[in-house]
Structure 1
Amino acid sequence: MKTDKPILGYDRFLMMAIFNEESVTLEELEDKTVLFLSLIWYQQLPEKEEPLMERLFFTLSHLRSELEDQRKSKKVGKTEEECDKLIQKGWVKLEDDHYSVTGDGEKEAQKFVKNMEKKASLVRKDFFKPAAAARNTTVLDAFLAVMKLGSGLISGSVGLTADGTDATMDTVSAFMVWLGIKYHRETLSTLLVIFGLFFAALSIGYDSVTHLISAFYGTLTPMGMPFLVIAVEGIAILAAVFLFYYQRYVGKVNSNLTLISQSVDSKNHIFIGLSVIAGAIFTLQGIYFVDALIALFISIGIFKDATDLLREAISARKGKEENYSQYKLPLEECWEGNKMMAFQNWVLYILWTTEKKTRVEIVSSLKTAFSPGNYIPVLSELKATCKDTHDFEGDFEGLINPLKEHKLINEDGKHYTLTENGVKYLEDFMSNFDYYNVHLSDTILLAMAEDVY
């Protein structure tokens, strides 16, 4: 199996690792690389049993990687080859099979570390604080309002114009939420969002009923420029999906009911957008009442969500402990699943490097690799490494049995060995990162797993 280390900017990764450890072997550098790749949760392969939204998320993530496969000139080589390049630059030296940074290399490595720490701080400050999430929501809602209203006026679509008006109200509401969080008036902000949901439910329900009545009497005005409506609402749905995941995550992690309430509103906008698109599609077929019928059911769902949130807000106001367990973190199960996959990938990797190992040796290796104190460039700066020592001894069968069932490893007495299927799996896994790079979006996604690992 090739040991290509498929990270764009892999030289920076190596410099950070060598600088932190002061003196490190080639094997130790490769170990850190495999650990890093294994903990990139959003690059895992989508499973058939995963929910549609999660499968779509991972599919899009892999599509990005496939598109990047065209950048042949930027593909890096093996770890040793990359280290040789660093030696040629005068940043790294090799003595007694150990790599260490030179004087010039230390300056460069410090720059890389500080840059990563700056990115990590930026992510936590500008993305994962409640006030930052509320501010970002306001900006995105304002963009959607302008887009929907403008397109609605151009197309003459009553539905899109109404949706744009609703988006304008969302912008005002989001701005008030931002002020409420910033000036510690979150209860008022929460109630504002909840009553906004009630208003949306009633207004959508009223419009739906009137449209259905008009359709019954044959006086319903057909939607104009349906293709424009579909395109605009498609963009709006993607934005709503992002806001739902984003607001739910920040709200749940920070125990902020206001943002959780906003995430419910964003979820509703996904369905509203789908109903408008459905209406546009059926309009092309000469059927004009479908979107109104769908919207009626959506309004009922929004009303129920608003009622549940109001009940939660009243309980919190009375001093009762708020129950956030019903609001699941988006992709939470994926994070947990990927943590187990990371452990299993490590088992396959160490069997590939040493041919066979006993249970005791595997458990010991897992404890060392996933120790909270083990520095992994990028992930350590983002605090996305394991924080607690996992019970590998107690969970050993749960880790090993799936590998045996998929015929990735063999158990021969007290020893475990890697099969040909295991080698192929490991090769496929590594090739999945052929052109991976840590952009700002990657730091955000990696940092989201901070509370899981």
Structure 2
Amino acid sequence: MSSRNRKSDFREFILMCLLKLEPLSYEQLWRKFMQMTSSLVLGSQYFEEWGERFGDKVEEFITSLGFKAREKPRRRRKIRKRKEGMVEEDFQRDIRELIREGLIQEAGGGKYQLTDEGRLKAEEHKNNMEKGAHVFRTQIVSPTAAARNTIIVDFILAVLKLTAGFISGSIALIADGADAAADTFSALIVWVGMKVGKDHIGALVIILMMFLTGASIGFESLTKLAEALTAGIEPMKQPYLVIVVESVALIAAVILMVYQRYVGKHHGSLTLISQSIDSRNHIYVALAVITGAGFSLLGVCFIDALIGAYIAVKILQDAFELLQGALSSMQGEETDFSKYNIPLEGHYHGYRIESFRNWILYTMREDGLKTREELIKSLEEVYRPEYVPILSEFSFSLGEGFDFRKEFDELVKPLTEKKYISRRGEEYALTREGGERIHRVLENLKFHTNK
């Protein structure tokens, strides 16, 4: 069945909109859809352009080495031949289908409302969405859930490393597995501390474990270096198995670090921030073990010891810094969470700025807005809306914490510099280049929605 013949996802969205806000005209329904779309995909051009810039740098590097760069794929160009209005056609078709099925009806004045059957269906969709949002908030992004999920991941990694270590006889894996088991125990203490409202206990436990880990890695690395200078080091056993297992651990540590940092920063939990730094240290450890295993295959058996010594110093530095923060927090001082950046946070900021700018172009084209006040009001309505299905259930707002009035001049500055808009006195006007720009963005939007 082709994508044009299957049912789209707009039906549930339309029903939920009408359940909350009926009666609504087609224009109001479409506006709500664009509010959701603007938050979810209108800024995707940022990542596409970032990818193109990154690709250009890679191509330049390859060319500088004397190789011929591979021809760029043309898939995106073909996709962009699709008509801009295809999604709106699908949206209109779904409204007609909902009317035929007796789920919505005309309410007069060009507006639509739910039928009794449609109301039951809409309430079912909304209840399912709210259940999903509740699970997301309580079982994934709450501090106690993050602490519990960390226990689960650490336990799985400990079992994996210890099992592989005993099967292969690899001392490195057994030692790393024992460390993962200790992490599981400390994560359990963190979780219990959160449950009883003693977050600082968990933070201190994590910091203590970091001191022990740093000291242990440092001692082991220096001992191994001493052996290399005197008696020599035996090659690592089962290096391929070590590489595979530690690669899995590396991926898990990266995910845990981002996850813990996000939840910790969002909820102001120094304990989770401490865990995220500990997870980052495990990334370093995994990389050191993988590097050591790789060099072991080449007969060089001391590289991981050199890397380990450096990592030990970094872990101890992090532990001292966190200890200072924890002690200050216990004394009543406010923790500065802004210094604990979430990985890819800068890209998220770039994404939403791109979304805001694209909306300015869109609303100037579609609504004919011209003045600063009109554009600011439109941005606030779209990115801090009263209700939009899915976004409201999950409490997601791209405009949260952003002052459109204060930052407006910075938002429009690149648009004027690139000649997408022009300014005459107190009014802005969309240029031909700006119209072409938003047309390309909307074509990209259709790709995301209709693929």
Q: TM-score range by the shorter chain?
A: 0.7 to 0.9
What is the percent sequence identity of the aligned residues? 38
**What do residues 412-432 of structure 1 show as CA deviations (whole Å, max 9, x unaligned)?**
784522432331123224423
- d(CA) in 2 for partners of 1:11 and 1:100? 13
SS of alignment partner, residue 300 of structure 2: coil
Assess if the C-alpha contact under 8 Å between 2:207 and 2:322 holds in 1: yes
Query: TM-score w.r.t. structure 1 length?
Result: 0.81
Tell me what 2:101 maps to: 89
1:202 aligns with 2:215: yes
Assess if the C-alpha contact under 8 Å between 2:361 and 2:435 holds in 1: no
- Superposed counterparts of 1:40-439, under 5 Å: 40=40, 45-46=46-47, 48=50, 78-94=90-106, 95-217=108-230, 219-354=232-367, 357-373=370-386, 375-385=387-397, 392-409=404-421, 414-417=427-430, 418-435=434-451
Tell me what 1:15 maps to: 15
**What do residues 38-68 of structure 1 show as CA deviations (whole Å, max 9, x unaligned)?**
223795643659xx9xxxxxxxxxxxxx9xx
**Mean alpha-carbon deviation: is it higher for 239-248 or for 315-324?**
315-324
SS of alignment partner, residue 416 of structure 1: strand
The residue identity in structure 1 corresponding to 2:184 is: T
The residue identity in structure 1 corresponding to 2:437 is: N
Q: CA deviation at 1:407?
A: 4.6
- d(CA) in 2 for partners of 1:336 and 1:99? 37
Q: CA deviation at 1:227?
A: 2.6
SS of alignment partner, residue 432 of structure 1: helix
- d(CA) in 1 for partners of 2:202 and 2:146? 14
**Mean alpha-carbon deviation: is it higher for 363-372 or for 234-243?**
363-372
Q: CA deviation at 1:128?
A: 2.5
SS of alignment partner, residue 234 of structure 1: helix
- d(CA) in 2 for partners of 1:193 and 1:308? 13
Query: TM-score w.r.t. structure 2 length?
Result: 0.81
Q: CA deviation at 1:355?
A: 6.2
- d(CA) in 1 for partners of 2:288 and 2:112? 60
Coordinate RMSD, CA, aligned: 3.1
Q: Any gaps of 5 or more consecutive residues in structure 1?
A: 53-65, 70-74, 436-453
The residue identity in structure 1 corresponding to 2:30 is: E
Tell me what 2:83 maps to: none
**What do residues 106-157 of structure 1 show as CA deviations (whole Å, max 9, x unaligned)?**
1111111121122222222112222221111101100111111112223332
Structure 1 residues 163 and 113: CA distance shift in structure 2, 3 A = same
Which contiguous aligned blocks of 4+ residues in structure 1 show a shift greater than 6 angstroms? Answer: 386-390
Structure 1 residues 249 and 368: CA distance shift in structure 2, 3 A = closer
- d(CA) in 1 for partners of 2:274 and 2:411? 38
**What do residues 188-237 of structure 1 show as CA deviations (whole Å, max 9, x unaligned)?**
32222111111100111111112222233353121233232222222211
Structure 1 residues 386 and 272: CA distance shift in structure 2, 3 A = closer
Assess if the C-alpha contact under 8 Å between 1:279 and 1:291 holds in 2: yes
Assess if the C-alpha contact under 8 Å between 2:214 and 2:313 holds in 1: yes
Tell me what 1:29 maps to: 29
Q: CA deviation at 1:167?
A: 0.4
Tell me what 1:444 maps to: none
Q: How many residues align?
A: 409
Structure 1 residues 167 and 433: CA distance shift in structure 2, 3 A = farther
Structure 1 residues 171 and 390: CA distance shift in structure 2, 3 A = closer
Structure 1 residues 266 and 111: CA distance shift in structure 2, 3 A = same
- d(CA) in 1 for partners of 2:343 and 2:98? 40
Structure 1 residues 182 and 88: CA distance shift in structure 2, 3 A = same
- d(CA) in 1 for partners of 2:146 and 2:407? 37
The residue identity in structure 2 corresponding to 1:428 is: N
Assess if the C-alpha contact under 8 Å between 2:358 and 2:438 holds in 1: no
Structure 1 residues 312 and 341: CA distance shift in structure 2, 3 A = same
**Mean alpha-carbon deviation: is it higher for 13-22 or for 152-161?**
152-161
Assess if the C-alpha contact under 8 Å between 1:39 and 1:338 holds in 2: no
Structure 1 residues 156 and 34: CA distance shift in structure 2, 3 A = farther
The residue identity in structure 2 corresponding to 1:419 is: G
- d(CA) in 2 for partners of 1:203 and 1:24? 65
- d(CA) in 2 for partners of 1:119 and 1:312? 36
- d(CA) in 2 for partners of 1:391 and 1:258? 30
Structure 1 residues 85 and 222: CA distance shift in structure 2, 3 A = farther
SS of alignment partner, residue 439 of structure 2: helix
Q: CA deviation at 1:273?
A: 0.8
Q: CA deviation at 1:269?
A: 0.5
Assess if the C-alpha contact under 8 Å between 2:39 and 2:383 holds in 1: no
- Point out the structure with max Rg over C-alpha: 2
Assess if the C-alpha contact under 8 Å between 2:362 and 2:438 holds in 1: no
SS of alignment partner, residue 260 of structure 1: helix
**What do residues 249-285 of structure 1 show as CA deviations (whole Å, max 9, x unaligned)?**
2222332222221111101001111111111222222
